[in-house]
Structure 1
Amino acid sequence: MTLLKVLPLALASLLCVPVLAANTSGPDTAVCPADFYSIAMPAGATQCQRFDDELPASLVYHTPVDTQTILQWYQQAMPELAVVSRFNKRVVLSAPNNNIRVVVSPDQHGAQVDLLVIDTLLASQ
């Protein structure tokens, strides 16, 4: 496998690891923003966790819609995103310059979406 194929998979597996809060009540979540840097956010996004003190920055959220629907939504909202990997029911979308990645994973009640901004060349906030 080439590095370009392995890197998205490695990032996807790192981003999808559950983050545990110091207390046992659950992860720290915030109100979901309208967008995260230059990445669109769908209506209905909940349980947002931001990790953006510096780049690369990431945000993880839940959506009640299924994986295929959220993939179609992202490809319509951001046509520059293309599927670069499918592994273990996870789908990785990436911008042509790899500055933006979107990882969509199914869960029991919709999908988990991990957003990753590598560089600020496309990002604005």
Structure 2
Amino acid sequence: MTTTNRWHLQGTGGHAYSGEEARQLLRHRWDWGSQETWFEDDAGRLLAVVTNGERAMVVLLEREDEPGEHLVDPRGEGFSGDYRLSNGQVDTYADRDTVAFDVAGHALAHFIEHDTWPTEVTVETDCGCGEDRS
């Protein structure tokens, strides 16, 4: 099943990205020195990827100011740094709250095409309610 929502770069309303185009864009943006990428769909949902080149934080928000969900690596241990945000801030995240960069690209592409995460990733809600989805 392919989704009917169109995903584009946040705030542009421009080109609607296929899943594979979005995955390639992540790689190109990393090559260009852009570590933070925000996509928006026609319903106003936001899909963000922040990477340090090896790992990535992938977040889905239903609305900008509401809690969402993010991909997790249940076996991730320790912390990784050098996640540079567009505002100049540099963050460090627990490896459990990030996934390998290639996993992030695959999950992003799948979500854009099917409006659901691939079965092989683990998703955790950010509402503080303790609900995990695998």
**Pairwise TM-score range, normalised by the shorter structure:** under 0.3
TM-score, normalising length: structure 1? 0.25
TM-score, normalising length: structure 2? 0.24
